[in-house]
Amino acid sequence: MSEKVYIFDTTLRDGEQSPGASMNAAEKLRLATQLEKLGVDVIEAGFPAASEGDFDAVSQIAKKLKKAEIAGLARTGKNDIDRAWGAVQHAAKPRIHTFIASSDIHMKYKLNKDRDEVVKTAVESVRYAKSLTDNVEFSAEDASRSDRDFLCKLFEAAIEAGATTVNIPDTVGYAIPSEFGELVKYVMEHTPNIGGTVVSVHCHNDLGLATANTLAAISAGARQAEVTINGIGERAGNTSLEEVIMALHTRPNYLPMETNIITEEIHSSSRLVSMITGIIVQPNKAIVGANAFAHEAGIHQDGVLKNPMTYEIMKPETIGLNKNKLVLGKHSGRHALRSRLSEIGYDLSDEELNLVFKKFKELADKKKHVIDEDLEVLVSEGILRTADIFVLEYLHVTSGTTVLPMASVKLSINGRSVRDAGYGNGPIDAAFNAIAKLTDTESELLRFSVSALSGGTDAMGEVTVRLKENGLIALGKGADPDIITASAKAYINGLNRLEYLKEHPIQASQFM
Protein backbone atom coordinates (compact mmCIF):
# COMPACT_ATOMS: atom_id res chain seq x y z
CA MET A 1 0.00 0.00 0.00
CA SER A 2 1.33 3.47 -0.95
CA GLU A 3 2.27 5.94 1.76
CA LYS A 4 1.29 9.61 1.78
CA VAL A 5 3.82 12.34 1.08
CA TYR A 6 2.68 15.79 2.20
CA ILE A 7 3.44 18.67 -0.14
CA PHE A 8 4.50 21.88 1.59
CA ASP A 9 4.62 24.72 -0.92
CA THR A 10 6.78 27.73 -0.08
CA THR A 11 6.43 29.65 -3.36
CA LEU A 12 4.85 32.55 -1.49
CA ARG A 13 7.68 32.69 1.06
CA ASP A 14 10.98 31.27 -0.16
CA GLY A 15 9.97 31.64 -3.80
CA GLU A 16 9.28 35.33 -3.25
CA GLN A 17 12.87 35.73 -2.05
CA SER A 18 14.01 35.31 -5.66
CA PRO A 19 15.45 38.68 -6.77
CA GLY A 20 12.60 40.75 -8.17
CA ALA A 21 9.88 38.20 -7.43
CA SER A 22 8.03 40.21 -4.78
CA MET A 23 4.24 39.98 -5.01
CA ASN A 24 1.53 42.28 -3.77
CA ALA A 25 -1.31 41.03 -1.57
CA ALA A 26 -3.77 40.51 -4.44
CA GLU A 27 -1.22 38.47 -6.40
CA LYS A 28 -0.37 36.36 -3.35
CA LEU A 29 -4.04 35.67 -2.70
CA ARG A 30 -4.61 34.66 -6.31
CA LEU A 31 -1.62 32.31 -6.27
CA ALA A 32 -2.59 30.82 -2.92
CA THR A 33 -6.06 30.06 -4.32
CA GLN A 34 -4.46 28.22 -7.24
CA LEU A 35 -2.13 26.30 -4.91
CA GLU A 36 -5.14 25.07 -2.96
CA LYS A 37 -6.80 24.07 -6.22
CA LEU A 38 -3.59 22.22 -7.14
CA GLY A 39 -4.00 20.15 -3.98
CA VAL A 40 -1.08 21.43 -1.89
CA ASP A 41 -1.31 20.23 1.72
CA VAL A 42 0.51 23.14 3.37
CA ILE A 43 0.97 26.65 1.98
CA GLU A 44 3.72 28.70 3.61
CA ALA A 45 2.03 32.00 2.91
CA GLY A 46 4.87 34.24 4.02
CA PHE A 47 7.09 35.61 6.75
CA PRO A 48 4.67 37.83 8.74
CA ALA A 49 7.40 39.56 10.78
CA ALA A 50 9.17 40.72 7.60
CA SER A 51 6.79 43.60 6.84
CA GLU A 52 3.24 44.89 7.29
CA GLY A 53 2.55 43.96 3.68
CA ASP A 54 3.57 40.35 4.25
CA PHE A 55 1.54 40.18 7.46
CA ASP A 56 -1.57 41.48 5.67
CA ALA A 57 -1.13 39.09 2.74
CA VAL A 58 -0.75 36.06 5.02
CA SER A 59 -3.80 37.18 7.01
CA GLN A 60 -5.93 37.49 3.88
CA ILE A 61 -4.87 34.05 2.68
CA ALA A 62 -5.56 32.51 6.10
CA LYS A 63 -9.06 33.96 6.15
CA LYS A 64 -10.01 32.89 2.61
CA LEU A 65 -8.60 29.38 2.11
CA LYS A 66 -10.43 26.46 3.73
CA LYS A 67 -8.68 23.23 2.69
CA ALA A 68 -4.92 23.74 2.88
CA GLU A 69 -2.95 24.31 6.06
CA ILE A 70 -1.61 27.88 6.17
CA ALA A 71 1.85 28.29 7.67
CA GLY A 72 3.60 31.45 8.78
CA LEU A 73 7.40 31.46 9.15
CA ALA A 74 8.97 32.76 12.36
CA ARG A 75 12.45 32.98 13.74
CA THR A 76 12.90 31.66 17.26
CA GLY A 77 11.66 34.47 19.47
CA LYS A 78 8.35 35.57 20.95
CA ASN A 79 7.88 38.60 18.69
CA ASP A 80 8.24 36.64 15.45
CA ILE A 81 6.00 33.85 16.71
CA ASP A 82 3.34 36.33 17.83
CA ARG A 83 3.37 37.93 14.38
CA ALA A 84 3.12 34.56 12.68
CA TRP A 85 0.23 33.51 14.88
CA GLY A 86 -1.50 36.84 14.44
CA ALA A 87 -1.45 36.31 10.67
CA VAL A 88 -2.47 32.61 10.50
CA GLN A 89 -4.79 32.32 13.50
CA HIS A 90 -7.92 32.78 11.38
CA ALA A 91 -7.01 29.87 9.07
CA ALA A 92 -9.10 26.70 9.12
CA LYS A 93 -5.80 24.83 9.64
CA PRO A 94 -3.07 27.18 10.96
CA ARG A 95 0.59 26.23 11.38
CA ILE A 96 3.52 28.05 12.96
CA HIS A 97 6.89 27.26 11.38
CA THR A 98 9.88 28.30 13.49
CA PHE A 99 13.57 27.74 12.87
CA ILE A 100 17.11 28.21 14.14
CA ALA A 101 20.49 27.38 12.63
CA SER A 102 22.20 24.16 13.71
CA SER A 103 25.51 24.07 11.83
CA ASP A 104 28.72 25.07 13.60
CA ILE A 105 29.49 27.78 11.05
CA HIS A 106 26.05 29.38 11.45
CA MET A 107 26.05 29.10 15.24
CA LYS A 108 29.48 30.71 15.49
CA TYR A 109 29.30 33.46 12.90
CA LYS A 110 25.60 34.24 12.59
CA LEU A 111 24.02 33.41 15.94
CA ASN A 112 27.02 33.76 18.24
CA LYS A 113 25.55 30.93 20.31
CA ASP A 114 26.91 27.59 21.48
CA ARG A 115 25.03 24.31 21.05
CA ASP A 116 23.37 24.37 24.47
CA GLU A 117 22.09 27.90 23.87
CA VAL A 118 20.66 26.88 20.49
CA VAL A 119 18.82 23.91 22.03
CA LYS A 120 17.48 26.13 24.85
CA THR A 121 16.27 28.78 22.38
CA ALA A 122 14.61 26.18 20.16
CA VAL A 123 12.81 24.55 23.08
CA GLU A 124 11.51 27.85 24.44
CA SER A 125 10.26 28.94 21.02
CA VAL A 126 8.59 25.64 20.10
CA ARG A 127 6.96 25.45 23.54
CA TYR A 128 5.60 28.98 23.15
CA ALA A 129 4.33 28.27 19.63
CA LYS A 130 2.70 25.10 20.96
CA SER A 131 0.76 27.20 23.48
CA LEU A 132 -0.87 28.95 20.52
CA THR A 133 -1.51 26.00 18.18
CA ASP A 134 -1.06 22.24 18.14
CA ASN A 135 0.43 22.44 14.64
CA VAL A 136 4.09 23.45 15.03
CA GLU A 137 6.93 22.80 12.60
CA PHE A 138 10.56 23.17 13.66
CA SER A 139 13.47 23.49 11.22
CA ALA A 140 17.19 23.20 11.81
CA GLU A 141 18.71 25.63 9.33
CA ASP A 142 21.75 24.32 7.43
CA ALA A 143 21.04 20.80 8.69
CA SER A 144 23.05 19.19 5.89
CA ARG A 145 26.23 20.80 7.25
CA SER A 146 25.40 20.12 10.91
CA ASP A 147 26.86 17.53 13.25
CA ARG A 148 24.51 14.56 12.98
CA ASP A 149 24.38 13.72 16.66
CA PHE A 150 23.76 17.33 17.63
CA LEU A 151 21.02 17.49 15.00
CA CYS A 152 19.32 14.48 16.58
CA LYS A 153 19.64 16.05 20.03
CA LEU A 154 18.11 19.30 18.77
CA PHE A 155 15.19 17.52 17.09
CA GLU A 156 14.59 15.37 20.17
CA ALA A 157 14.33 18.51 22.32
CA ALA A 158 12.05 20.26 19.81
CA ILE A 159 9.72 17.27 19.60
CA GLU A 160 9.64 17.03 23.39
CA ALA A 161 8.65 20.72 23.44
CA GLY A 162 5.75 20.08 21.06
CA ALA A 163 6.94 20.08 17.44
CA THR A 164 4.74 17.88 15.24
CA THR A 165 6.89 18.29 12.11
CA VAL A 166 10.69 18.49 12.02
CA ASN A 167 12.42 19.76 8.92
CA ILE A 168 15.90 18.87 7.62
CA PRO A 169 16.95 21.66 5.23
CA ASP A 170 19.80 21.57 2.75
CA THR A 171 19.97 25.34 3.09
CA VAL A 172 22.89 25.99 0.76
CA GLY A 173 22.35 23.14 -1.70
CA TYR A 174 25.49 21.38 -0.49
CA ALA A 175 24.30 17.79 -0.15
CA ILE A 176 24.72 14.88 -2.55
CA PRO A 177 21.64 12.58 -2.91
CA SER A 178 23.17 9.47 -1.33
CA GLU A 179 24.60 11.59 1.50
CA PHE A 180 21.31 13.39 2.12
CA GLY A 181 19.31 10.18 2.12
CA GLU A 182 21.71 8.75 4.69
CA LEU A 183 21.31 11.88 6.83
CA VAL A 184 17.52 11.53 6.87
CA LYS A 185 17.81 7.86 7.75
CA TYR A 186 20.32 8.59 10.52
CA VAL A 187 18.10 11.28 12.07
CA MET A 188 15.08 8.98 12.02
CA GLU A 189 17.03 6.12 13.59
CA HIS A 190 18.82 8.18 16.26
CA THR A 191 16.09 10.57 17.45
CA PRO A 192 14.28 8.51 20.12
CA ASN A 193 10.92 10.33 20.09
CA ILE A 194 10.62 10.95 16.35
CA GLY A 195 7.96 8.28 15.85
CA GLY A 196 4.63 9.87 14.98
CA THR A 197 6.37 13.10 13.90
CA VAL A 198 6.39 14.07 10.23
CA VAL A 199 9.94 14.34 8.89
CA SER A 200 10.28 17.05 6.25
CA VAL A 201 13.02 18.15 3.85
CA HIS A 202 13.70 21.50 2.20
CA CYS A 203 16.39 21.47 -0.50
CA HIS A 204 18.07 24.19 -2.52
CA ASN A 205 19.39 23.79 -6.04
CA ASP A 206 22.87 25.32 -5.90
CA LEU A 207 24.41 22.15 -7.37
CA GLY A 208 21.33 21.28 -9.44
CA LEU A 209 20.46 18.45 -7.04
CA ALA A 210 17.43 19.78 -5.15
CA THR A 211 14.92 17.37 -6.71
CA ALA A 212 17.34 14.42 -6.52
CA ASN A 213 18.04 15.15 -2.85
CA THR A 214 14.34 15.44 -2.07
CA LEU A 215 13.56 12.11 -3.75
CA ALA A 216 16.47 10.48 -1.92
CA ALA A 217 15.07 11.81 1.35
CA ILE A 218 11.59 10.47 0.56
CA SER A 219 13.10 7.07 -0.21
CA ALA A 220 14.85 7.23 3.17
CA GLY A 221 11.61 7.93 5.04
CA ALA A 222 10.85 11.68 4.84
CA ARG A 223 7.14 12.26 4.37
CA GLN A 224 6.93 15.99 3.70
CA ALA A 225 8.57 17.70 0.72
CA GLU A 226 9.04 21.48 0.80
CA VAL A 227 8.91 22.80 -2.75
CA THR A 228 8.10 25.75 -4.99
CA ILE A 229 6.35 26.07 -8.34
CA ASN A 230 8.92 26.23 -11.16
CA GLY A 231 11.61 25.74 -8.51
CA ILE A 232 11.89 29.49 -7.85
CA GLY A 233 13.67 30.69 -4.74
CA GLU A 234 16.84 32.23 -3.40
CA ARG A 235 20.02 31.88 -5.48
CA ALA A 236 19.60 28.82 -7.76
CA GLY A 237 16.14 28.13 -6.38
CA ASN A 238 14.32 25.39 -4.49
CA THR A 239 13.12 21.89 -5.18
CA SER A 240 10.60 22.05 -8.02
CA LEU A 241 7.10 20.88 -7.09
CA GLU A 242 6.32 19.66 -10.58
CA GLU A 243 9.51 17.60 -10.80
CA VAL A 244 8.92 15.81 -7.49
CA ILE A 245 5.25 15.17 -8.23
CA MET A 246 5.80 13.81 -11.73
CA ALA A 247 8.72 11.66 -10.57
CA LEU A 248 6.41 10.05 -8.00
CA HIS A 249 3.62 9.82 -10.57
CA THR A 250 5.80 8.34 -13.32
CA ARG A 251 7.88 5.91 -11.25
CA PRO A 252 5.46 4.36 -8.70
CA ASN A 253 7.34 1.06 -8.97
CA TYR A 254 10.41 2.74 -7.47
CA LEU A 255 8.68 5.45 -5.40
CA PRO A 256 5.36 3.98 -4.19
CA MET A 257 4.07 7.22 -2.69
CA GLU A 258 0.83 9.16 -3.03
CA THR A 259 0.11 12.87 -2.81
CA ASN A 260 -3.02 15.01 -2.97
CA ILE A 261 -1.72 16.95 -5.98
CA ILE A 262 -4.06 17.22 -8.97
CA THR A 263 -1.48 16.93 -11.73
CA GLU A 264 -3.76 18.48 -14.36
CA GLU A 265 -3.35 21.80 -12.51
CA ILE A 266 0.45 21.81 -12.78
CA HIS A 267 0.75 23.67 -16.07
CA SER A 268 -1.72 26.41 -15.12
CA SER A 269 0.01 26.82 -11.74
CA SER A 270 3.39 27.15 -13.45
CA ARG A 271 2.04 29.68 -15.90
CA LEU A 272 0.44 31.75 -13.12
CA VAL A 273 3.68 31.90 -11.11
CA SER A 274 5.60 32.98 -14.20
CA MET A 275 3.01 35.63 -15.00
CA ILE A 276 2.89 37.07 -11.48
CA THR A 277 6.63 37.02 -10.75
CA GLY A 278 7.81 37.85 -14.25
CA ILE A 279 10.32 34.99 -14.06
CA ILE A 280 10.32 33.16 -17.38
CA VAL A 281 10.43 29.37 -17.32
CA GLN A 282 13.45 28.19 -19.29
CA PRO A 283 12.39 26.32 -22.47
CA ASN A 284 14.18 23.10 -21.47
CA LYS A 285 12.81 23.11 -17.91
CA ALA A 286 11.58 19.65 -16.93
CA ILE A 287 7.79 19.14 -16.96
CA VAL A 288 6.68 22.76 -17.58
CA GLY A 289 9.24 24.14 -20.06
CA ALA A 290 8.06 25.03 -23.57
CA ASN A 291 10.18 22.20 -25.02
CA ALA A 292 9.26 19.57 -22.42
CA PHE A 293 6.90 17.82 -24.87
CA ALA A 294 8.39 19.14 -28.14
CA HIS A 295 10.06 16.85 -30.67
CA GLU A 296 12.17 18.16 -33.54
CA ALA A 297 14.46 15.28 -34.51
CA GLY A 298 12.95 13.24 -37.35
CA ILE A 299 13.46 9.88 -35.66
CA HIS A 300 11.76 11.22 -32.52
CA GLN A 301 8.83 12.63 -34.49
CA ASP A 302 8.38 9.35 -36.32
CA GLY A 303 8.36 7.40 -33.07
CA VAL A 304 5.94 9.75 -31.32
CA LEU A 305 3.53 9.62 -34.26
CA LYS A 306 3.51 5.83 -34.07
CA ASN A 307 3.31 5.67 -30.29
CA PRO A 308 3.81 8.75 -28.03
CA MET A 309 5.33 6.58 -25.31
CA THR A 310 8.39 5.91 -27.50
CA TYR A 311 9.78 9.30 -26.52
CA GLU A 312 7.31 10.66 -23.96
CA ILE A 313 7.37 9.10 -20.50
CA MET A 314 4.44 11.33 -19.48
CA LYS A 315 1.31 12.38 -21.30
CA PRO A 316 1.02 16.16 -21.79
CA GLU A 317 -2.60 15.92 -20.67
CA THR A 318 -1.43 14.70 -17.26
CA ILE A 319 -0.06 18.15 -16.39
CA GLY A 320 -2.97 20.04 -17.97
CA LEU A 321 -1.80 20.52 -21.57
CA ASN A 322 -3.87 19.88 -24.71
CA LYS A 323 -7.23 20.20 -23.01
CA ASN A 324 -10.32 20.72 -25.17
CA LYS A 325 -11.04 24.39 -24.73
CA LEU A 326 -13.97 26.66 -25.41
CA VAL A 327 -12.82 29.00 -28.17
CA LEU A 328 -13.31 32.64 -27.28
CA GLY A 329 -13.49 35.43 -29.84
CA LYS A 330 -15.11 38.78 -30.51
CA HIS A 331 -18.59 37.22 -30.65
CA SER A 332 -18.30 35.54 -27.26
CA GLY A 333 -20.49 36.89 -24.46
CA ARG A 334 -20.11 37.43 -20.73
CA HIS A 335 -21.43 33.96 -19.88
CA ALA A 336 -18.81 32.21 -22.01
CA LEU A 337 -16.08 34.44 -20.60
CA ARG A 338 -17.16 33.83 -17.01
CA SER A 339 -17.33 30.08 -17.65
CA ARG A 340 -13.80 29.94 -19.06
CA LEU A 341 -12.40 32.18 -16.33
CA SER A 342 -13.98 29.91 -13.72
CA GLU A 343 -12.42 26.84 -15.35
CA ILE A 344 -8.93 28.35 -15.08
CA GLY A 345 -9.50 29.43 -11.49
CA TYR A 346 -10.87 32.99 -11.58
CA ASP A 347 -14.17 33.49 -9.75
CA LEU A 348 -14.88 37.15 -10.39
CA SER A 349 -17.57 39.43 -9.04
CA ASP A 350 -19.96 41.06 -11.52
CA GLU A 351 -18.01 44.30 -11.28
CA GLU A 352 -14.69 42.55 -11.91
CA LEU A 353 -16.18 40.56 -14.78
CA ASN A 354 -17.41 43.75 -16.44
CA LEU A 355 -13.93 45.25 -16.20
CA VAL A 356 -12.27 42.17 -17.71
CA PHE A 357 -15.01 41.79 -20.33
CA LYS A 358 -14.33 45.29 -21.65
CA LYS A 359 -10.61 44.50 -22.01
CA PHE A 360 -11.50 41.11 -23.52
CA LYS A 361 -13.59 42.74 -26.26
CA GLU A 362 -10.80 45.21 -27.03
CA LEU A 363 -8.34 42.35 -27.41
CA ALA A 364 -10.77 40.18 -29.40
CA ASP A 365 -11.05 42.99 -31.95
CA LYS A 366 -7.29 42.73 -32.49
CA LYS A 367 -6.86 38.95 -32.69
CA LYS A 368 -9.04 36.07 -33.87
CA HIS A 369 -8.91 33.80 -30.83
CA VAL A 370 -8.29 34.69 -27.18
CA ILE A 371 -6.42 31.93 -25.31
CA ASP A 372 -6.07 31.18 -21.59
CA GLU A 373 -2.73 32.97 -21.36
CA ASP A 374 -4.40 36.08 -22.79
CA LEU A 375 -7.15 35.86 -20.18
CA GLU A 376 -4.59 35.57 -17.38
CA VAL A 377 -2.96 38.78 -18.60
CA LEU A 378 -6.32 40.56 -18.77
CA VAL A 379 -7.22 39.53 -15.22
CA SER A 380 -3.75 40.47 -13.99
CA GLU A 381 -3.93 43.92 -15.54
CA GLY A 382 -7.57 44.52 -14.70
CA ILE A 383 -7.95 42.98 -11.24
CA LEU A 384 -4.71 42.06 -9.52
CA ARG A 385 -2.93 45.37 -10.05
CA THR A 386 -5.65 47.96 -9.57
CA ALA A 387 -3.58 49.66 -6.82
CA ASP A 388 -0.59 50.40 -9.08
CA ILE A 389 0.89 53.88 -8.72
CA PHE A 390 1.74 54.21 -12.43
CA VAL A 391 -0.82 53.30 -15.10
CA LEU A 392 -0.37 53.65 -18.86
CA GLU A 393 -3.17 55.67 -20.46
CA TYR A 394 -1.75 56.53 -23.86
CA LEU A 395 1.28 55.71 -26.01
CA HIS A 396 2.18 56.99 -29.46
CA VAL A 397 5.52 56.32 -31.15
CA THR A 398 7.17 57.55 -34.30
CA SER A 399 10.02 55.55 -35.76
CA GLY A 400 11.60 54.60 -39.04
CA THR A 401 14.74 54.78 -41.13
CA THR A 402 14.50 58.51 -41.80
CA VAL A 403 13.14 59.93 -38.52
CA LEU A 404 14.40 60.27 -34.96
CA PRO A 405 12.46 57.78 -32.80
CA MET A 406 10.05 59.62 -30.51
CA ALA A 407 7.43 58.50 -28.00
CA SER A 408 4.56 60.46 -26.55
CA VAL A 409 3.29 58.99 -23.28
CA LYS A 410 0.36 59.75 -20.98
CA LEU A 411 0.37 58.17 -17.52
CA SER A 412 -1.89 58.17 -14.51
CA ILE A 413 0.23 58.67 -11.40
CA ASN A 414 -1.76 58.13 -8.22
CA GLY A 415 -4.88 59.02 -10.21
CA ARG A 416 -3.43 62.20 -11.75
CA SER A 417 -2.88 62.30 -15.53
CA VAL A 418 0.48 63.55 -16.83
CA ARG A 419 2.05 63.48 -20.27
CA ASP A 420 5.44 64.00 -21.88
CA ALA A 421 7.59 62.89 -24.80
CA GLY A 422 11.01 61.35 -25.13
CA TYR A 423 13.56 60.44 -27.78
CA GLY A 424 15.77 57.37 -28.04
CA ASN A 425 17.76 55.00 -30.21
CA GLY A 426 14.53 53.21 -31.12
CA PRO A 427 10.80 53.37 -30.32
CA ILE A 428 11.12 51.25 -27.15
CA ASP A 429 14.08 53.25 -25.86
CA ALA A 430 12.14 56.45 -26.56
CA ALA A 431 9.09 55.13 -24.68
CA PHE A 432 11.23 54.09 -21.70
CA ASN A 433 12.90 57.52 -21.62
CA ALA A 434 9.54 59.29 -21.60
CA ILE A 435 8.18 57.03 -18.87
CA ALA A 436 11.30 57.50 -16.73
CA LYS A 437 10.96 61.27 -17.09
CA LEU A 438 7.27 61.25 -16.10
CA THR A 439 7.79 58.95 -13.11
CA ASP A 440 10.98 60.72 -12.00
CA THR A 441 12.75 57.39 -11.66
CA GLU A 442 16.35 56.42 -12.41
CA SER A 443 16.18 52.64 -12.57
CA GLU A 444 18.79 50.65 -14.48
CA LEU A 445 17.53 48.21 -17.11
CA LEU A 446 19.35 44.95 -16.41
CA ARG A 447 17.44 42.69 -18.80
CA PHE A 448 14.94 42.94 -21.63
CA SER A 449 13.38 39.91 -23.33
CA VAL A 450 10.50 39.30 -25.72
CA SER A 451 8.46 36.16 -26.36
CA ALA A 452 5.09 35.20 -27.83
CA LEU A 453 2.26 33.69 -25.80
CA SER A 454 1.16 31.58 -28.76
CA GLY A 455 1.81 31.04 -32.46
CA GLY A 456 0.57 33.26 -35.27
CA THR A 457 1.23 36.83 -36.31
CA ASP A 458 -1.60 38.06 -34.08
CA ALA A 459 -0.10 36.50 -30.96
CA MET A 460 0.17 38.51 -27.78
CA GLY A 461 3.75 39.66 -27.36
CA GLU A 462 5.10 39.19 -23.85
CA VAL A 463 7.93 41.38 -22.59
CA THR A 464 9.94 40.89 -19.41
CA VAL A 465 12.26 43.52 -17.95
CA ARG A 466 14.56 43.44 -14.94
CA LEU A 467 15.07 46.80 -13.23
CA LYS A 468 17.45 47.90 -10.49
CA GLU A 469 17.23 51.02 -8.35
CA ASN A 470 19.01 51.80 -5.08
CA GLY A 471 19.94 48.17 -4.57
CA LEU A 472 16.38 46.92 -5.16
CA ILE A 473 15.70 44.59 -8.09
CA ALA A 474 12.27 44.05 -9.63
CA LEU A 475 10.94 42.17 -12.61
CA GLY A 476 8.25 43.68 -14.78
CA LYS A 477 6.02 41.97 -17.28
CA GLY A 478 3.66 43.22 -19.96
CA ALA A 479 1.69 41.70 -22.81
CA ASP A 480 -0.02 43.19 -25.84
CA PRO A 481 -0.42 42.40 -29.56
CA ASP A 482 1.75 45.51 -30.09
CA ILE A 483 5.25 44.71 -28.87
CA ILE A 484 6.10 48.36 -28.18
CA THR A 485 3.00 48.73 -26.00
CA ALA A 486 3.88 45.45 -24.29
CA SER A 487 7.36 46.85 -23.59
CA ALA A 488 5.92 50.02 -22.05
CA LYS A 489 3.55 47.95 -19.89
CA ALA A 490 6.42 45.75 -18.72
CA TYR A 491 8.57 48.77 -17.84
CA ILE A 492 5.72 50.38 -15.91
CA ASN A 493 4.97 47.10 -14.16
CA GLY A 494 8.62 46.91 -13.10
CA LEU A 495 8.52 50.48 -11.78
CA ASN A 496 5.38 49.66 -9.80
CA ARG A 497 7.09 46.64 -8.28
CA LEU A 498 10.06 48.80 -7.31
CA GLU A 499 7.67 51.20 -5.59
CA TYR A 500 6.07 48.25 -3.80
CA LEU A 501 9.50 47.11 -2.58
CA LYS A 502 10.29 50.61 -1.33
CA GLU A 503 7.07 50.67 0.70
CA HIS A 504 7.23 47.02 1.83
CA PRO A 505 10.89 46.14 2.32
CA ILE A 506 11.36 42.38 2.61
CA GLN A 507 13.68 41.46 5.43
CA ALA A 508 14.89 38.28 3.76
CA SER A 509 15.32 35.62 6.41
CA GLN A 510 18.17 33.94 4.50
CA PHE A 511 16.52 30.77 5.74
CA MET A 512 16.66 27.33 4.18
Spell out the residues 6+ positions from residue 50 whose beta carbon is closer than 8 angstroms to its own: 506, 507, 508, 509
Of 315, 318, 297, the closest CA to residue 307 belongs to 315
Cβ atoms of 266 and 245 within 8 Å: the answer is yes
Among residues 288, 268, 489, the alpha carbon closest in space to that of 393 is found at 489
Average the pLDDT over 6-19 and give the result.
89
Determine the average pLDDT of the residues in 478-492. Answer: 91
Identify the DSSP state of 460. Answer: P
pLDDT of residue 350: 83
267-312 tens-digit pLDDT: 989 988 988 887 888 889 999 987 887 655 555 555 646 677 676 7
pLDDT at 463 over 80: yes
pLDDT bin (cut points 50, 70, 90) of residue 447 is confident
More confident residue, 405 or 510: 405
Poorest-confidence range of 311-320, 375-384, 409-418, 468-477? 375-384
Residue 158: the pLDDT is 98
Helix ranges, 141-290 (H): 148-161, 177-190, 210-220, 241-250, 266-277
Residue 510 has pLDDT above 60, yes or no: no
Q: In this predicted structure, what is the pLDDT of residue 221?
A: 97
The mean per-residue pLDDT over the stretch 249-271 comes to 94
* Model confidence at 238: pLDDT above 70: yes
Phi-psi region of 39 (alpha: psi -120 to 50; beta: other; left: phi over 0): left
**pLDDT reported for residue 212:** 98
Non-local (6+) Cβ contacts of 475 within 8 A are: 20, 21, 277, 278, 279, 464, 465, 466, 467, 494, 497
Checking if the pLDDT of 382 tops 80, the result is no
Q: Which CATH class is domain 3-277?
A: alpha beta
- What pLDDT, on the 0 to 100 scale, is given for residue 324? 44
In one letter, which amino acid is 177? P
Among the listed residues 195, 275, 313, the one whose alpha carbon sits nearest the alpha carbon of residue 479:
275
Taking only the tens place, the pLDDT of each residue in 98-133 is 999 999 999 999 999 999 999 999 999 999 999 999
DSSP for 485-505? HHHHHHHHHHHHHHHHHHHS-
Q: Who has greater pLDDT, 451 or 212?
A: 212
Residues 57-95 pLDDT 10s: 999 999 999 999 999 999 999 999 999 999 999 999 999
The ranges assigned to domains in the chain are: 3-277, 296-323, 390-503
pLDDT in tens, 85-107: 999 999 999 999 999 999 999 99
Which CATH entry fits the domain spanning 390-503: 3.30.160.270, 3.40.190.10, 3.40.50.1110, 3.30.365.10? Answer: 3.30.160.270
- Name the residue with higher pLDDT: 147 or 468: 147
Q: How far apart are CA 318 and CA 470, in angstroms?
A: 44
Indicate whether 509 pLDDT > 60.
Answer: no
Q: Counting every residue, how long is the chain?
A: 512
User: What is the predicted pLDDT for the residue at 302?
Assistant: 57
Under the banding of pLDDT at 50, 70 and 90, the label for residue 16 is confident
User: What pLDDT, on the 0 to 100 scale, is given for residue 336?
Assistant: 81
Sheet strand arrangement including 416-423:
390-398, 406-413, 416-423
The predicted structure's pLDDT at residue 364? 80
Q: Average pLDDT over the chain, rounded to whole? A: 88
Question: What pLDDT digit, counting tens, does each position of 388-399 carry?
Answer: 789 999 999 999
Is the pLDDT reported for residue 22 higher than 80? no
DSSP, res 240: B
Assess whether pLDDT exceeds 80 at residue 17.
no
pLDDT at 359 over 90: no
User: Is 361 a residue whose pLDDT tops 80?
Assistant: yes
* Residue 326 pLDDT: 54
Q: Which of the four pLDDT bands, split at 50, 70 and 90, describes residue 386?
A: very low
Q: Which of 165-179, 239-253, 302-316, 342-356 has the lowest mean pLDDT?
A: 302-316
